[in-house]
Every structure is written in structure tokens, then in C-alpha cells.
């Protein structure tokens, strides 16, 4: 599959069939995350693969928006390192996209669960600490997101997007 095809096929998959993901495929997805670019090539993001059912169940309670993690075959927790780079959030976000697209290429569904909350520091701390304590993540890392992975139960239709001309501008904004 070509990258553009994977982009077009990307869907938020939150319903999975109960089938484990082969370790070779999980390693391939982790390799994509590892190869994702980082500002100044600094190790500003790290990844934790979670496949244990009890941990997935626990993580599904990190926010009210990720109950589907309890049915995922695996999850990748993405942490950022503010102590290493001021671009930790951007680098972690780029890696999320690489994880998602590599999963699609392998026929694996993915869904994004935001843990870090940029507008509500208290909520972010609550969510991050919930994940941090369970996975023994050091306090100098920020818990950015959890991507749930699994084989799709069904392929949802594409979402209706805003008109392209309202999003894409040429030369100057509004042109």
C-alpha cells in the first residue's frame, strides 16, 4: 500500500475483533514510530507497547473518551520529553501519525486517545498520572496519547469533511 492510499483509508477504529496482533507486526509499527522525525533529532518522545489485557482495561479508564481500549489487542502509549526538547509535543504528534499509517498498511485499525490536555492543566495532570502510575512512567515525561490497535470489526465510512477550499489556501490566507 502506498502512503497516500493509507491516508485515504485512515479511519478511527474503536470496535475490534478479538484477534491478537502478531509480534512482528507490532514491531514494524514500533519501528515506524522510532523512525518518525524529531526536532534536531533529539530523543524527545518514547513509546510503550501494551498488550496485557488487564493493562488495556485499566488504560480504558484514563479518560471518558477511551473505553474502546478495553477491547483493543494492543496499545502504544506515547510520552514526550520536555526536558530534552521544546518540540516534544510536535515530535510525539508526528510519531502518532506514523504509528497510525503503518497500522493501516498492515490492515490493523487504530484510534487516538488524547491524554495530555493543553487547555486544562488539572485534567491533564489527572489523566497523565492515571497512566503514569500504572505503567511506571517517570515524572519527567508527559503522557501525550494512547493509540489503540486491533483488527477492525467493521470498516466505518469516511467522515464528511469541510470543503477543501475552507482549509487549503494558496499564497496567502483566504486566497
CATH architecture of 3-154: 3-Layer(aba) Sandwich (3.40)
Q: What is the pLDDT of residues 90-119, one digit of tens each?
A: 999 999 999 999 999 999 999 999 999 999
Give the integer Cα–Cα distance in Å for 9 and 27.
22
What order of strands is seen across the sheet that includes strand 45-50? 45-50, 74-80, 142-150, 109-114
pTM of structure: 0.93
Arithmetic mean of pLDDT over the chain: 95
CA-only gyration radius of the chain, Å: 17
* Distance separating alpha carbons of residues 121 and 43, to the nearest angstrom: 24
Instruction: State mean pLDDT over 137-149.
Output: 98
- The confidence score (pLDDT) of residue 84 equals 96
Residue 52 is predicted with a pLDDT of 98
Can you tell me the distance from the alpha carbon of 102 to that of 125, in angstroms, rounded to the nearest whole number?
A: 30
Q: Tell me the C-alpha distance between 10 and 84, whole Å.
A: 31
Is the Cβ–Cβ distance between 130 and 120 less than 8 Å? no
Amino acid at each position: 500500500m502506498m502512503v497516500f492510499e493509507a491516508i485515504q483509508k485512515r479511519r478511527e477504529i474503536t470496535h475490534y475483533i478479538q484477534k491478537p496482533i502478531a509480534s512482528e507486526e507490532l514491531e514494524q509499527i514500533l519501528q515506524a514510530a522510532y523512525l518518525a522525525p524529531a526536532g534536531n533529532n533529539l530523543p524527545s518522545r518514547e513509546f510503550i507497547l501494551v498488550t496485557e489485557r488487564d493493562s488495556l482495561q485499566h488504560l480504558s479508564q484514563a479518560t471518558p473518551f477511551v473505553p474502546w481500549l478495553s477491547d483493543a489487542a494492543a496499545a502504544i502509549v506515547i510520552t514526550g520529553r520536555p526536558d530534552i526538547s521544546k518540540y516534544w509535543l510536535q515530535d510525539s504528534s508526528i510519531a502518532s501519525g506514523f504509528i497510525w499509517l503503518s497500522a493501516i498498511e498492515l490492515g490493523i485499525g487504530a484510534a487516538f486517545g488524547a491524554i495530555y490536555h493543553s487547555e486544562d492543566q488539572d485534567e491533564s495532570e489527572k489523566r497523565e498520572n492515571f497512566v503514569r502510575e500504572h505503567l511506571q512512567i517517570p515524572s519527567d515525561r508527559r503522557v501525550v496519547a494512547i493509540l489503540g490497535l486491533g483488527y477492525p470489526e467493521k470498516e466505518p465510512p469516511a467522515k464528511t469533511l469541510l470543503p477543501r477550499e475552507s482549509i487549503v489556501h494558496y499564497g496567502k490566507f483566504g486566497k
